[in-house]
Structure 1
């Protein structure tokens, strides 16, 4: 029998329950494409209950870097797991670049990023509007300003922390406002308050123990395991705010006892594979990062960046390479580098598909279908 005369085979349609179960297991990147298969699939993949199930099946997805081009001011995204295949290749000393392909230009423009969680990014745009956005789906929600009245003639310092409360399935924003009152012929004065925004309730509330924040350093915090970590001004103690309990706690950095007679400059708090990293520079010893292994016991692991001992410009650890717990992505003078903890060696990342100039890492996010609309939609 010739191929042209083969009988047609009828393939029975799968039950909708099985189709939904299969789709739930797929990554967000694939599901975004599958929305165009049919109106039924589009409706299913956009359903808030489906989005939550998919997020539960993919709590950890490849981390994407949000990159700002130094040459054309455009912004790009890049998967960190693209570095992994090249890390074990023994290159010559003259060829240490790691090519990274498929850099993707994004349509949004971030002026400042305050954090990301489950695929959502809390950011400020060029008009100083605060919003939550999913860079993968472009779903966006403008966060209303706190309704609390402040004096007119003041200078403000405001920082935001962004996290998830699994107990209520809610995204929350903690905001610290420090205001300075300067009036001629009157004493200088300051005050501060901390407020909390709930996406589910779409409302702000003042927290009663805002006096806790009088001593906090006004930099953006880092959020790990549903808690926001922030330095005190003396840099010897860290404050933690829990998005679940909405309470503060603090702990002292015990490893600082090792540097009693040495100058220590403090830089960033960093999320390193779900662990808190304290990044600093020790006089005469170069850059170091101390990674907290266990919050309860306050135990730390030391990582030294001796290669950058003489570097005067800003050096910032960003995150781990996806799939590796020994390779840290660094932002160094507008270049993206990968630093290996074991051999103390860094390698440049040559980003293919983007402009020839350097990049600055604005932040990170994990690709998902999550949407602020899911939380705002009544169950």
Structure 2
């Protein structure tokens, strides 16, 4: 069994290999092939589909896709995205699990693929292995769904409205296993009014992709913060008027397509650059303070971290935790400006440089142990992405499901 696994893992596709394996693959039971391939990187899967019709059938099958996804969930990765010449570049590396105290590690990044869309900004967080971004056209921007693991992308239909702007959020319903895009837009007028239009597009319809208008139970003002999808619910900040700060969190149930609202504590300051995170299956909000100012970026002068956890959405109950940053923080971070990219499923905060230098480091902060681990990311041609923002995502799951 181990020899067979090694043969598959070391397979290099060539004409000779293809003929050799094509004549022998019928001797390998399908269940063994599925088990072997479910443990291999997604790039190896893509190459192996070319070996024979049998392998192609197995590796495109729903049983293998589900098994691969299930095992990918147990081995989350870091995903790095760069925009260069309006194209998207995706890299991923292994994600250290509970790195040792004050350690310095190395992770090798693999280049997944390049998507040549006219992308300017607006990359949503990875949702079950898929990424939602925007293709900028002459007059409009349209959503694009990308799968870095398969190299696929699909441009969604244009939602033509008499609007001055539109914000899109990307979510996943784990019960019906459907991806959905939520579009929120506001009237085209001189001043920003309350939002009135909400549209949803479902990807797994097997029919023509269409936007559907849905109703919201209460008007609100949308802000430009990013949203996050947790257990089938999309969360994003909002306000009651144009002159106020964030006063509530909009909760959109992806499966039921219904809205609800959670009031935030007055002490919780969610600014333009504040970070919403997945805290062990609950919504969390981070407040980071550098000196006397709250900002997206932190450096060696970073003093403390406030973490707010939404423990009961129906009763609007939040729990606050304050973490004093360890004294050795300044020595590890030095003069690098970093931002919070999220929280891992094992409980560490990931901090990533806004624009990586060479060497490229990311940092894991364990709030319970109050320790810092530095990880060097190798395998990315940083010269190509000088002064480019690094969009870094935690707990990326490789998903071989075809769009």
Which band: TM-score by shorter chain?
A: 0.7 to 0.9
After TM superposition, list the pairs within 5 Å mapping 1:203-352 onto structure 2: 203-209=210-216, 212-233=218-239, 234-254=245-265, 256-257=266-267, 265=271, 267-281=274-288, 286-292=304-310, 295=313, 298-300=317-319, 302-304=321-323, 306=325, 316-321=339-344, 324-325=346-347, 327-335=348-356, 336-352=362-378
Query: Distance in 2 between the 1:179 and 1:304 partners?
Result: 42
Q: Give the SS at the match of 1:114.
A: coil
2:398 to 347, 367, 373: 367
**Structure 2 residue ranges without an equivalent (≥5):** 1-23, 240-244, 294-302, 357-361
Residue 167 of structure 2 corresponds to 159
Report the TM-score when normalising by structure 1. Answer: 0.73
Could you tell me whether the CA contact under 8 Å between 2:34 and 2:64 is conserved in 1?
Answer: no
Could you tell me whether the CA contact under 8 Å between 1:273 and 1:319 is conserved in 2?
Answer: no
1:195 to 186, 199, 214: 199
Change (3 A) 1:213 1:54: farther
Residue 119 of structure 1 corresponds to 129
Could you tell me whether the CA contact under 8 Å between 1:160 and 1:173 is conserved in 2?
Answer: yes
Residue 132 of structure 1 corresponds to 145
Could you tell me whether the CA contact under 8 Å between 2:349 and 2:365 is conserved in 1?
Answer: yes
Structure 1 residue 101, shift from structure 2 partner: 2.2
- Cα-Cα RMSD: 4.0
Residue 35 of structure 1 corresponds to 49
Higher mean alpha-carbon deviation, 71-80 vs 59-68, is at 71-80
Query: Distance in 1 between the 2:237 and 2:26 partners?
Result: 61
Residue 180 of structure 2 corresponds to 172
Could you tell me whether the CA contact under 8 Å between 1:272 and 1:319 is conserved in 2?
Answer: no
Change (3 A) 1:334 1:120: same
Could you tell me whether the CA contact under 8 Å between 1:31 and 1:45 is conserved in 2?
Answer: yes
Structure 1 residue 286, shift from structure 2 partner: 4.7
Q: Give the SS at the match of 2:379.
A: coil
Change (3 A) 1:180 1:303: farther
Could you tell me whether the CA contact under 8 Å between 1:159 and 1:177 is conserved in 2?
Answer: yes
Could you tell me whether the CA contact under 8 Å between 2:149 and 2:399 is conserved in 1?
Answer: yes
Residue 7 of structure 1 corresponds to none
Query: Distance in 2 between the 1:204 and 1:71 partners?
Result: 30
Could you tell me whether the CA contact under 8 Å between 1:279 and 1:288 is conserved in 2?
Answer: yes
Alignment coverage as a number of residue pairs: 337
Residue 27 of structure 2 corresponds to 13
> Larger RCO: Structure 1 or Structure 2 (Cα < 8 Å, ≥ 6 residues apart)?
1
Q: Give the SS at the match of 1:104.
A: strand
Q: Residues 151-182 of structure 1: CA distance to partner in whole angstroms, max 9, x if unpaired?
A: xxx532x2111122244332111111123313
Q: Residues 12-59 of structure 1: CA distance to partner in whole angstroms, max 9, x if unpaired?
A: 93444x346535754562533432332211122113454245435654
Structure 1 residue 100, shift from structure 2 partner: 2.6
Structure 1 residue 217, shift from structure 2 partner: 2.0
Query: Distance in 2 between the 1:203 and 1:99 partners?
Result: 45
Could you tell me whether the CA contact under 8 Å between 1:74 and 1:105 is conserved in 2?
Answer: no
Structure 1 residue 329, shift from structure 2 partner: 1.0
Could you tell me whether the CA contact under 8 Å between 2:185 and 2:196 is conserved in 1?
Answer: yes
Query: Distance in 2 between the 1:52 and 1:249 partners?
Result: 32
Residue 108 of structure 1 corresponds to 115
Report the TM-score when normalising by structure 2. Answer: 0.69
Structure 1 residue 347, shift from structure 2 partner: 4.6
Structure 1 residue 140, shift from structure 2 partner: 1.6
Change (3 A) 1:28 1:141: farther
Is the counterpart of residue 88 in structure 1 residue 100 in structure 2?
yes
Q: Give the SS at the match of 2:340.
A: strand
1:66 to 67, 71, 80: 80
